[in-house]
Amino acid sequence: MAENGHGHGDNAEYYSLRAAAMQALLIEKGVCTLDDIMTMADKIDSRSPEDGAKILAHAWADPEYKKRLLANAEAAFLELGYDLPETSPKITVVENTDEVHNMAVCTLCSCFPRAIIGRPPAWYKELAYRSKVVADPRGVLQEFGTELDEGVQVRVIDSSADYRYLILPKRPAGTEGMSEEQLAKLITQESMIGVGLALAPESIPTS
């Protein structure tokens, strides 16, 4: 279990017990209930990259919606039924084009558009990505197997506790006439962070 450097073992045992103790004390003191915690856990679990993919596929399919999404993401999310809690940090959608490729990072921590696409992947929170992506973004893209044309400008966007970014990947060629549901299958978590591109249409089974 320790091979990923995720600190399983002594640290995990120590901190899991302290977390359980704090939780038990908070419940005893009437600060919150177990039900509050489990309801919140289920709510967090319910958000996933599929939600982001659905929204971004709609933007590919509907140019007017795309304009609204890029201008005011939160209002556009709401159109599709995604109501961000008041306490949620602001989310901006940034478009990747033939000229500019954007990638998101949180060099300071792990800030991520969780309210729309769920918890960040493990690598996003680790030191290697956070350190390297601003120094050598093209090298990092290569680590993800992502090739860009020489002429494409690469921009790295640093997130913060208050501002988070969702990348609208470039719509791949050969996707004309595909349904939104099909298009959403091309939009991966990596492509919404900008370390990957949307999948080519050949890569998904046609139904």
Partner 1 sequence: MPKVHDRGGWPNDDPIDHSEHEMEEWERQVDALNGVLGDKGLKNTDQLRRAIESLDLATYESLAYYEKWTAAMEMLLVEQGIMTSEEIDAKVAVLKEGQK
With respect to partner 1, which residue has the nearer C-beta, 65 or 123? 123
SS3 state of residue 42: helix
With respect to partner 1, which residue has the nearer C-beta, 39 or 72? 39
Report the residue from 53, 56, 69, 105 that binds partner 1 according to the rule CB under 8 A.
105
Query: Which candidate in 48, 109, 179, 203 is catalytic?
Result: 109
With respect to partner 1, which residue has the nearer C-beta, 17 or 204? 17
Instruction: Compute the least distance from the CB of residue 200 to partner 1, in Å.
Output: 20
Cα–Cα distance between 152 and 99 in angstroms, integer?
5
Report the residue from 47, 125, 138, 155 that binds partner 1 according to the rule CB under 8 A.
125
Non-local (6+) Cβ contacts of 93 within 8 A are 56, 59, 69, 70, 73, 76, 165, 166, 167, 168
Asked about 111 being catalytic, the answer comes back as: yes
With respect to partner 1, which residue has the nearer C-beta, 59 or 105? 105
What part of residues 35-94 is at the interface with partner 1 (CB under 8 A)?
A: 36-38, 40-41, 43-45, 87, 89
3-state secondary structure 83-120: CCCCCCCEEEEEECCCCEEEEEECCCCCCCCHHHHCCC
Report the residue from 108, 153, 174, 181 that binds partner 1 according to the rule CB under 8 A.
108
Please name every residue paired with 166 in a beta bridge, in sequence order, or none if there are none: 93
The tokens for 172 are 């791949």
Asked about 109 being catalytic, the answer comes back as: yes
Please name every residue paired with 95 in a beta bridge, in sequence order, or none if there are none: 168
> Per CB under 8 A, does 203 bind partner 1?
no
